[in-house]
Structure 1
Amino acid sequence: MNFGEIMAKGGPVMWPLLFLSILALGTIVERIWFWSTFLHKEGLILNKVMDAAIANWEVVDKVAHHYRKHPIGNFLYAPLRLSKPEPDVFHLALEAAADEELAGMRRGDKLLEAVIALSPLLGLLGTVLGLINSLGSIQLGDLGNSSTDGVTLGIAEALITTAAGLIIAIVSLAFYRIFQAFWFQQVRIFRKAGSDLEMIYRQRWLQSNKIYTS
């Protein structure tokens, strides 16, 4: 069967399933593009900012500012743009920036969750409606006669929507789990990068206070 025949035999429920599949596909493509570009540059940006923080703290804010359009760069730049903040304020700035950037990385998750939940239900609904349509015209006296030969074909066609719904849900779930794995990895990276940057700043803060008090 070609696409048109599948849509015709699946019934009206195939149209909302098609709509959900388009939404899921668009979200998946957008997320793949986001993660591919994000992960490609993340390591380079993180190394440059942390190397600058260790070698010359006076220029680390300029380095982070250069990469502020990237999530990891913007995260590290958030406390560095403050003017000599106390360590607690520096920590709060890191936490707020991390929450904002990590939340942005989960864009599209709710849509995929909706597709995963709705697709099998719509497929089951289409199958039930197809079975009702196929079996509704059968009478007890027709059982075993040639008049029921088309019932098997009708049931097979009714199952098309269930298969379509399951395929959409399975594909969406697979990519959803992949994106979730990327996100959890970023949580660990952000925590470590933030802790390392904060530790360097606290050391410099203590040294500057000792020099000032002495």
Structure 2
Amino acid sequence: MFSILVAAGWPIVPLLLCSIIATALVIERFLSLKAAKVLPPQLLNEAIAVSQDGIPPSDVIAKLERNSALGEMLASGFRAAQAGPGHPADEVRTAMETSGRAIAHRLERYLPALATIASAAPLLGLLGTVIGMIEIFGSQAPGTGAAGNPAQLAHGISIALYNTAFGLIVAVPTLIFWRYFRSRVDGYLLHLELAGERFAQHLAGLRAAPRP
């Protein structure tokens, strides 16, 4: 493999960098988009249960905020309801929507970079192949002193094509992971929106005063 990379020449260096960056981003997204960090399954029901008699204490809200992305959004709803009497639904929804936009931006982090690598890798591979072909045919031109050996020419073309092959090897898995993470984030955002609406209705229905 090392000899192939050396034979492919300098144009393969950007592809190597793209492959390293894409691998790092995929690992980071797998760790950051775990369900436990974004959307714990029972957290909404627990937040509703703990606030049946009123807004919970500040330490409970702070603990909820540190729990996950969903917990952060629910905590913003608690604070909005705690700020004014009557727990107006519009203020609660506005606060949760603002928090939800920040969460959505965080969930979508690095996805554009993955999409860019998936799009650019085949082009970089093609560029390396074109540069290799130019060098090969330039060395075979009359007056260069190089013999027109068909076997040597075929070997040089095969080496030039390594760049295109490596570009596709980088691009295809990156594209698959980008589509997977994109779908996962979209699913999370939908569930966060539904959970926020349900929680806003719950807070709007509270009539008890906040507990000290």
Same fold (TM over 0.5): yes
**CA offset digits 1:180-203 (Å, max 9, x no partner):** 111111111111111111111222
Correspondence for 1:94: 96
Report 1:23-172 matches (<5 A): 23-36=21-34, 38=36, 42-53=40-51, 55-59=52-56, 63-69=60-66, 70-82=68-80, 83-84=83-84, 85-138=87-140, 147-172=149-174
* C-alpha separation in 2, matches of 1:186 and 1:167: 29
Correspondence for 2:184: 182
Higher relative CO (CA 8 A, sep ≥ 6), structure 1 or 2? Answer: 2
Q: 8 Å contact 2:22–2:174 — kept in the other structure? A: yes
* C-alpha separation in 2, matches of 1:196 and 1:134: 66
Correspondence for 1:212: none
Q: How many residues align?
A: 200
**CA offset digits 1:103-139 (Å, max 9, x no partner):** 1001111211221121111100011111112222335
Instruction: Note the aligned Cα RMSD (angstroms).
Output: 2.3
TM-score scaled by length of structure 2: 0.85
| Superposed displacement of residue 67, structure 1 | 2.4
Report 1:196-211 matches (<5 A): 196-204=198-206
Deviates more, 1:79-88 or 1:91-100: 79-88
AA aligned opposite 2:119 = A
Correspondence for 2:3: 5
**CA offset digits 1:145-200 (Å, max 9, x no partner):** 97222111111111111011111111111111111111111111111111111111
Deviates more, 1:92-101 or 1:145-154: 145-154
| Superposed displacement of residue 41, structure 1 | 6.2
* C-alpha separation in 1, matches of 2:19 and 2:35: 24
Higher helix share: 1
**Identity of matched residues, %:** 25
Any gaps of 5 or more consecutive residues in structure 2? none
AA aligned opposite 1:163 = A
* C-alpha separation in 1, matches of 2:91 and 2:19: 46
Deviates more, 1:44-53 or 1:97-106: 44-53
Secondary structure of residue in 2 paired with 1:59? coil
* C-alpha separation in 2, matches of 1:158 and 1:81: 61
